Amino acid sequence: MTTTATDRPASPPHATGDQRPGRARLVRALRAAGTLALVLLVLQLPVRIFVAEPLAVRSESMVPTFDVGDRLLSWKVGADGHAWQRGDVVAFHHRGQVWVKRVVALGGDTVSLRDGRLFVDGSRVRESYADPRLIDSVYFGPVRVPSGTVFVLGDNRGDSVDSRRFGPVPVDQIEGRIVATVWPWHRIATGVER
Q: pLDDT (tens digit, 0 to 9) for every residue of the chain, 194 residues total? A: 554 555 555 555 554 455 566 777 766 665 666 565 554 444 444 444 444 567 778 889 988 888 898 888 888 755 555 678 999 999 998 888 889 999 999 999 999 999 888 999 999 999 888 877 777 777 898 999 999 999 999 998 888 899 999 999 999 899 888 888 776 666 655 556 55
The whole domain housing 98 covers 51-190
Cα dist from 119 to 43, 111, 112, 141, 184, whole Å: 44, 6, 5, 10, 34
Q: Is residue 86 part of a domain?
A: yes
Point out the domain boundary residue: 27, 50, 73. Answer: 50
> So what's the pLDDT on residue 115?
86
Q: Is residue 180 part of a domain?
A: yes
Q: Is residue 102 part of a domain?
A: yes
- Within this chain, do residues 112 and 22 fall inside the same structural domain, yes or no? no
> So what's the pLDDT on residue 45?
46
Q: Is residue 109 part of a domain?
A: yes
Verdict on whether the full-model pTM lies above 0.75: no
> So what's the pLDDT on residue 53?
67
Q: How far apart are the first and last CA of the chain?
A: 93
- Within this chain, do residues 45 and 122 fall inside the same structural domain, yes or no? no
Q: Is residue 170 part of a domain?
A: yes
- Within this chain, do residues 43 and 77 fall inside the same structural domain, yes or no? no
What are the residues facing 183 on neighbouring strands? 71
> So what's the pLDDT on residue 54?
73
Cis peptide before 170 (omega within 30 of 0): no
Q: Is residue 69 part of a domain?
A: yes
Question: For the chain, what is the domain count?
Answer: 2
CATH number, residue 169 = 2.10.109.10
Amino acid at 104: V
Report whether 109 contacts 121 (CB < 8 A): yes
Report whether 120 contacts 111 (CB < 8 A): yes
Q: Which residues are catalytic?
A: 61, 101
- Within this chain, do residues 46 and 80 fall inside the same structural domain, yes or no? no
For the chain, give the secondary structure using H, E and C.
CCCCHHHCCCCCCCCECCECHHHHHHHHHHHHHHHHHHHHHHHHHHHHHHCEEEEECCCCCCCCCCCCCCEEEEECCCCCCCCCCCCCEEEEEECCEEEEEEEEEECCCEEEEECCEEEECCEECCCCCCCHHHCCCCCEEEEECCCCEEEEECCCHHHCCCHHHHCCEEHHHEEEEEEEEEECHHHCEECCCC
- Within this chain, do residues 84 and 156 fall inside the same structural domain, yes or no? yes
